[in-house]
Chains A and B, each alone.
Chain A
Amino acid sequence: MTIDIVADLKSRAVERKRGNTFEWFSVGQELIHHWGRTLTEGDNTLFTTLTLHYNPLYTNADYALAHGHTGAVVCPLLLFATVFGLSVEDLSEAGGPFLGVDELTYLRPVIVGETVYARSTVTDTRETKSHPNFGIVTWHTTGFDETGEPVIKFNRANLVRKAQ
């Protein structure tokens, strides 16, 4: 007798869902995002070169040292994308386009080899007539270094899917 393994798995498996829908968010809610991330030389060189971000501070350690840094500087947009990336499962994975960012501040240059962590606070939730199946959620997100000092902060808005 043969067992249909795929059909058997589908009948017994319970889905582990990821991401949060619009109704889950409330203003003032604070979220400590998962994982943290060490920004490596490989990350920085790959990101900087693939986005054509030609400032030698990010791709030439010798040049960065001559400007008073202790090593190559992490491309600020990689710092942003990483802090953003760490926040996605909690904030926006359930779907809905990323609308924009306001008041982003880089608090200091981050050097290759540093580790960043991300936290967010919900600052607004609202309905939108143009997208009845979604709401707009706004968060204030902060990226921290390993000592807990903030290195980047920004406000982000997304359309977030409502529970069906």
Chain B
Amino acid sequence: MFHKPSHLTSPNNYFEDFEPGQVIRHARGKTVTEMDNVLLTNMVMNTAAAHFDEHLMKTFMKGIPGFDTRVVFGGINFSMVLGLAAQDTGEQVLEELGLDKIRLKTPVHHGDTLYAYTEVLDKSDTDRPDAGIVRFRHYGINQDEKLVFSGERTVLMKKRSGWAA
């Protein structure tokens, strides 16, 4: 590479920078648009028309609050929240290991804005000296401060000592 990897990423988000109990409010929010939802839902071949047929929702689901218009595919909601948290908690990730206790609490509609918060649950060493495992709990909140999503995520993350010394 022309640049060292550590020159392309933030200096403050390595394994050493996280401590259990730490809570981070991530800098950016994102308004989930019709383009995000319909494009990504169709791209991953999710065939549920509730995400892309407005007429169906206005007729078949008429009178059911929150479901009488298209709803954003839940997989996009939490991908967006984990994305909003990614520069702070994923930029130094060598490998995403898993997710658990993913809960979708509130439907998201086109035009809703999502914000992300993260709590560090724990961290541990592995058999490789240059990386460790960090476990996070992420939260997604909408513009009305309603909890949209919560879930745990486990990653293998670079240690600064191994990658940016």
Contact = CB atoms under 8 A, between A and B. Distances in A.
Interface of A: 18, 35, 37, 43, 46-48, 50-57, 60, 62-63, 66-67, 76-78, 80-82, 84-86, 88-89, 92-93, 95, 97-106, 109, 154
B47 A104 contact: no
A156 B91 CA distance: 27
B134 interface: no
A57 B73 CA distance: 25
Contact of B86 (A54, A85, A92, A103): A54
Given A48-B83, A52-B28, A85-B47, 20 more contacts: A37-B44, A46-B43, A47-B43, A47-B79, A52-B80, A52-B87, A53-B83, A55-B91, A66-B5, A76-B96, A78-B44, A80-B75, A81-B73, A81-B75, A82-B45, A93-B49, A97-B107, A103-B100, A104-B102, A154-B99
A55 B44 contact: no
Contacts of A105: 97-98
Interface of B: 1-2, 5, 8-9, 28, 30, 36, 39-41, 43-50, 71, 73-76, 78-80, 82-84, 86-87, 90-91, 93-104, 107, 151
A93 B48 contact: yes
A63 B1 contact: yes
A76 B84 CA distance: 15
A102 B80 contact: no
